[in-house]
Structure 1
Amino acid sequence: MTVLTVIAGMSLLAWLWLLAGQGGFWRTDVRLPRATAARPDGEPRRWPSVAVVVPARDEAEVLGVSLPSLLAQDYPGRAEVFLVDDGSTDGTGELAGELHERYGGLPLTVSSPGEPPPGWTGKLWAVRHGITLAGERFAPEFLLLTDADIAHRPDSLRELAAAAVDAELDMVSLMARLRVETGWERLIVPAFVYFFAQLYPFRWINRPRSRTAAAAGGCVLIRASAVAAAQVPDAIRQSVIDDVALARAVKRSGGRIWLGLADRVDSVRPYPDLGELWHMVSRSAYAQLRHNPALLAGTVLGLALIYLVPPAAALGGALTASWSLCGLGAAAWAVMAATYLPMLRYYAQPLWLAPTLPYTAALYLLMTLDSARDHYRGRGAAWKGRTYPRPDTSA
Structure 2
Amino acid sequence: MSVVDIYAYQAVRTLTKDQVWGRYLYWGLSIAFLVLLVLVIINFDRSAGPQHPLFKIFMGSFVLLFVPKLIISAPLLLEDIVRIIVGISGKIISSSEGGPFMPSRRKFVSQMALALAAIPFAGILHGIFKGKYNYRVIKKTLFFPDLPDAFDGFRLTQISDVHSGSFDNPEKIAYGINLINQQRSDLILFTGDLVNNVADEMEPWKEVFSTLNAPMGKYSILGNHDYGDYVNWPSAEAKAANMQKLYRTHADIGFDLLRNENRVIEKDGERIRLVGVENWGKGFAQHGDLELALQDTSEQEFHILMSHDPSHFDEVVKKHPKKMSLTLSGHTHGMQFGIEIPGVFRWSPVKYRYPKWAGLYEDAGRYLYVNRGFGFLAFPGRVGIWPEITVLELRKGEANA
- The question of a shared fold, defined as TM-score above 0.5 by the shorter chain, is answered with no
Name the TM-score class by shorter chain: under 0.3
Taking structure 1 as the reference length, what is the TM-score of the superposition? 0.25
Question: Could you say which structure has the higher helix fraction?
Answer: 1
Larger Rg: 2
